[in-house]
């Protein structure tokens, strides 16, 4: 494959809702580049992307596919993304390295959930967007309504560059407002025919053309001056102005196609070539030390791995964007995040299931390699070893479940498989919870976890089951209490003796460390499960030797690890050891450990103990019309609304909700809003549960533990 210079590369994410035609479009684009000689179809299961077993079975994209193509001497690196919201991580990974997104909209049903959700990501990540209205050949295609919705949802900067004259069955012509010509697209992708605009369309075309000229001029002062002087701009000038608008998200062009019939795709590629930035023109990426990389091939090599995947016949594949310098076969690089040396054994250009080896790529290009020793997604490879590209930020997982192998002898193998999945899917989390004695996995939604189950059962041949995940409660106290415990044992020869008196108090951030007892020594521990333990030695007159203090602490820690109420971790407690007794012969560490543990347990129960639960901050994006229903549902989940904001047709609701009430929330939210709402959540803090919940949790714990005995 030839080596493409930075200015001859376009890195494009193909995004949009489910079944809008992204995969079909990528196929047509690859066909125009001669990458394939025949276009496959999703129905025939022979497209370049969607080649993985799970995708073939479900006839749906699950992972993104990288596909190159060439058109008019420009290399297109397309990343065909899944449309379903549960796989948004693939979209985020693709957008990260793309310099523009083609958002595919189905002309039959206009703006859909996928478009709405993904739009938010393009906005957060400052990525240019072009809308591609697809399926114009369909009998139910409605261009005007679709365009109207695009403006309604995404604002008046949505600008048609074309409009169809005969959408629906028999579609073959658009008015191109840049060229001011009628373009005829033969079904099946033959050469487009350029004709004059018919009289019947003249007036409408002129009007839209003028609007487009004004829009182009607004982005550049020189163009604006020229526009004022001459009242018009040439096609070339318009493209220049529009490109600036596209790059700063001031203009969102609209293009018309039928991907299935390969109509308008070649013209679309011309427009993308002209109106989308090349990698050096696009916004630079930042490095962790605040520098920016502008895709300069003359600099030392820096490449960012945006995706890692396991591919049949190849094994682990790392997909990279070269952000500086060149990358060549057999090059030695360093993983800047870990310091590991890596050799680029092979450079591979991916066209989905088709691959070609390449010798060299320039800055801005997207390429894959195999057999890296220890470099995964979101890591940087560099020549110098000291440049780290900022990590991609993925949404926190929000759908939790506990998982186990049906055959418990396979639990260990399952653990390894889950960790491997985590390496290729950064929106998925695995936690072997010692505390809950469960393996908890979390992902973006029910579908996401269903697919993971499918892969584990089918590809790894381990039968698994999902079951209810426990909640990581915490325990703490709310008032001071004192108690003592004497551990005394006389059996045969030497006995055991230890007596400990303690006063415990609630700890809170910023409290002064003082008690009614004089503190001789104090230690502060940040507990691994969050919160603090302050351990004060207030012993006077040598009632307990200092050498027994660590043993007493050990006893307390044991009880904090398995709290007195429900066996959950205890936190935020000040323990003051203020008296005790020793025996000249029988006192030893074990005796003091047990005395400390039991004194703590007893004092804890007197100190008005409370169960704390994890509270999450939840951000919900919901169509205004469903706002009421969502709020009612939240109230039923003990949710605390924090506020809401409106953004176009949508409301953003922020609320604090206990994790215990968020079980299967995505499924409920989806049914309330017909799939249009979505949400994100992240941990906020621990908070005391209401009394009735506390009683229920304790009762459940006691019952469960009785069963186990």
Confirm or reject binding of residue 146 to ligand GDP (CB under 6 A): no
Reduced to 3 states (helix: H, G, I; strand: E, B; else coil), residue 196 is: coil
Task: Restricting to residues 44-83, name those near ligand GDP by CB under 6 A.
Answer: 61, 83
| 8 Å CB contact between 65 and 352 | yes
Using CB under 5 A, which of the segments 21-29, 106-114, 217-225, 284-292 binds Mg ion?
21-29
Confirm or reject binding of residue 20 to ligand GDP (CB under 6 A): yes
Give the number of residues in contact with Mg ion, rule: CB under 5 A: 3
Identity of the residue, 450 or 667, whose beta carbon is nearer to Mg ion in the bound complex: 450
Please state, in angstroms and rounded to a whole number, the distance separating the CA atoms of residues 399 and 394.
Answer: 14
Q: In the bound complex, what is the minimum distance in angstroms from residue 682's beta carbon to Mg ion? A: 29
The residue assigned the tokens 């840049």 is 178
Using CB under 5 A, which of the segments 55-63, 190-198, 216-224, 595-603 binds Mg ion?
55-63
Q: In degrees, to the nearest 5, what angle opens at C-alpha 579 toward C-alphas 573 and 580?
A: 115
Please state, in angstroms and rounded to a whole number, the distance separating the CA atoms of residues 554 and 598.
Answer: 12
Identity of the residue, 23 or 106, whose beta carbon is nearer to Mg ion in the bound complex: 23
Q: Select from 138, 400, 470, 676 the one that contacts ligand GDP (CB under 6 A).
A: 138
Which option in Mg ion, ligand GDP, none does residue 258 bind, with CB closer than 5 to 8 A by kind?
ligand GDP
Q: In the bound complex, what is the minimum distance in angstroms from residue 49's beta carbon to ligand GDP? A: 8
Which option in ligand GDP, Mg ion, none does residue 282 bind, with CB closer than 5 to 8 A by kind?
none
Q: In the bound complex, what is the minimum distance in angstroms from residue 195's beta carbon to ligand GDP? A: 22
The residue assigned the tokens 């953004």 is 647
Per-residue binder mask for ligand GDP (CB under 6 A), 345-374, x = binder: ------------------------------
Q: In the bound complex, what is the minimum distance in angstroms from residue 26's beta carbon to ligand GDP? A: 8
The residue assigned the tokens 């920016």 is 292
Give the nearest residue (CB) to ligand GDP.
21
The residue assigned the tokens 């998982």 is 403
| 8 Å CB contact between 219 and 252 | no
Reduced to 3 states (helix: H, G, I; strand: E, B; else coil), residue 310 is: strand
Q: In the bound complex, what is the minimum distance in angstroms from residue 50's beta carbon to Mg ion? A: 6
Task: Restricting to residues 94-133, name those near ligand GDP by CB under 6 A.
Answer: 104
Per-residue binder mask for Mg ion (CB under 5 A), 606-635, x = binder: ------------------------------
Identity of the residue, 135 or 598, whose beta carbon is nearer to ligand GDP in the bound complex: 135
Task: Restricting to residues 395-414, name those near ligand GDP by CB under 6 A.
Answer: none
Q: In the bound complex, what is the minimum distance in angstroms from residue 88's beta carbon to ligand GDP? A: 14
Which option in ligand GDP, Mg ion, none does residue 336 bind, with CB closer than 5 to 8 A by kind?
none
Alpha helices, H only, 378-502: 411-424, 446-459
Distance (Å) of CA 84 to CA 55, 231, 252, 674: 13, 45, 23, 14
> Phi then psi for 381, rounded to 5 degrees?
-105, 135
Identity of the residue, 66 or 239, whose beta carbon is nearer to Mg ion in the bound complex: 66
Distance (Å) of CA 575 to CA 187, 513, 514, 539, 568: 80, 11, 11, 12, 18
**Which residues are 76's β-sheet partners?**
10, 69
Q: Select from 11, 14, 20, 23 the one that contacts Mg ion (CB under 5 A).
A: 23
Number of DSSP helices (H) and strands (E) in the chain, helices first: 16, 38
Q: In the bound complex, what is the minimum distance in angstroms from residue 312's beta carbon to ligand GDP? A: 21
Which option in Mg ion, ligand GDP, none does residue 21 bind, with CB closer than 5 to 8 A by kind?
ligand GDP
Buried b (16+ CB within 10 A) or exposed e, 265-276: bbbbbbbbbbbb
E strand or H helix at 110: none
DSSP 375-403: --TT-EEESSS---BPPPPPPPP-EEEEE
Which option in Mg ion, ligand GDP, none does residue 73 bind, with CB closer than 5 to 8 A by kind?
none
| 8 Å CB contact between 138 and 168 | yes
Using CB under 6 A, list all residues that contact ligand GDP.
Answer: 18-24, 41-43, 61, 83, 104, 134-135, 137-138, 258-260
């Amino acid at each position: 494959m030839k080596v493409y210079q930075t200015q001859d590369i376009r890195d494009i994410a193909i995004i949009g809702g489910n079944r809008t035609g992204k995969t079909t479009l990528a196929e047509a684009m690859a066909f125009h580049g001669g990458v394939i000689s025949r276009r496959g179809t999703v129905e025939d299961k022979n497209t370049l992307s969607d080649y993985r077993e799970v995708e073939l079975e479900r006839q749906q994209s699950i992972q993104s596919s990288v596909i190159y193509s060439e058109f008019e001497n420009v290399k297109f690196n397309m990343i065909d993304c899944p449309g379903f919201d549960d796989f948004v991580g693939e979209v985020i990974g693709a957008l990260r390295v793309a310099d523009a997104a083609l958002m595919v909209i189905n002309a039959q049903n206009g703006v859909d959930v996928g478009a709405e959700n993904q739009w938010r990501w393009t906005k957060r990540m400052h990525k240019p967007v072009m809308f591609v209205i697809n399926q114009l050949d369909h009998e139910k295609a409605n261009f005007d309504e679709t365009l109207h919705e695009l403006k309604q949802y995404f604002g008046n900067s949505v600008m048609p560059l074309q409009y169809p004259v005969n959408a629906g069955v028999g579609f073959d012509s658009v008015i191109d407002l840049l060229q001011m010509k009628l373009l005829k697209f033969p079904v099946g992708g033959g050469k487009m025919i350029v004709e004059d605009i018919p009289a019947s369309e003249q007036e409408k075309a002129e009007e839209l053309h003028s609007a487009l000229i004004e829009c182009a001029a607004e982005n550049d002062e020189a163009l604006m001056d020229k526009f004022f002087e001459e009242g018009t701009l040439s096609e070339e000038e318009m493209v220049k102005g529009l490109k600036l608008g596209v790059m700063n998200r001031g203009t969102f062009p609209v293009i018309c196609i039928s991907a299935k019939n390969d109509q308008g795709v070649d013209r679309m590629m011309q427009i993308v070539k002209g109106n989308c930035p090349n990698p050096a023109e696009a916004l630079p990426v930042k490095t962790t030390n605040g520098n920016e990389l502008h895709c300069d091939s003359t600099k030392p090599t820096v490449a960012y791995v945006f995706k890692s995947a396991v591919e049949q016949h190849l094994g682990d594949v790392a997909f990279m964007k070269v952000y500086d310098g060149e990358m060549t076969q057999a090059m030695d690089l360093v993983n800047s995040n870990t310091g590991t040396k890596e050799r680029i054994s092979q450079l591979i250009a991916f066209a989905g299931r088709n691959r070609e080896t390449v010798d060299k790529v320039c800055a801005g290009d997207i390429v894959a390699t195999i057999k890296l020793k220890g470099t995964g997604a979101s890591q940087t490879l560099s020549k110098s070893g000291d440049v780290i590209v900022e990590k991609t930020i993925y949404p926190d997982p929000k759908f939790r479940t506990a998982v186990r192998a049906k055959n418990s002898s396979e639990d260990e193998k399952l653990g390894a498989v889950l960790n491997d999945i985590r390496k290729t899917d950064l929106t998925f989390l695995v936690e072997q919870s010692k505390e809950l004695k469960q393996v908890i996995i979390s992902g973006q939604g029910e579908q996401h976890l269903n697919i993971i189950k499918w892969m584990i059962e089918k590809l790894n041949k381990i039968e698994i089951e999902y079951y209810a995940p426990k909640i990581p409660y915490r325990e703490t106290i709310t008032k001071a209490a004192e108690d003592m415990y004497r551990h005394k044992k006389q059996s045969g020869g030497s006995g055991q003796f230890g007596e400990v008196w303690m006063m415990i108090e609630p700890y809170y951030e910023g409290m002064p460390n003082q008690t009614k007892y004089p503190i001789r020594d104090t230690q502060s521990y940040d507990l691994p499960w969050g919160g603090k333990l302050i351990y004060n030695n207030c012993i006077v007159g040598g009632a307990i030797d200092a050498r027994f203090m660590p043993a007493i602490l050990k006893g307390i820690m044991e009880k904090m690890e398995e709290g007195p109420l429900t066996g959950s971790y205890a936190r935020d407690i000040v323990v003051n050891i203020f008296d005790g007794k020793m025996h000249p012969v029988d006192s030893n560490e074990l005796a003091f450990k047990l005395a400390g543990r039991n004194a703590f347990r007893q004092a804890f129960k007197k100190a008005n103990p409370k169960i704390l639960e994890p509270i999450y901050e939840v951000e919900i994006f919901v169509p205004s019309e469903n706002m009421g229903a969502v709020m009612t549902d939240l109230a039923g989940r003990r949710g605390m609304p924090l506020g809401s904001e409106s953004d176009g047709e949508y409301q953003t609701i922020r609320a604090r909700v206990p994790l215990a009430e968020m079980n299967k929330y995505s499924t409920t939210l989806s049914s309330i809003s017909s799939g249009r709402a979505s949400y994100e959540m992240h941990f906020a803090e621990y908070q005391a549960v209401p009394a009735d919940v506390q009683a229920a949790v304790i009762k459940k714990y006691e019952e469960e533990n009785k069963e186990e005995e």
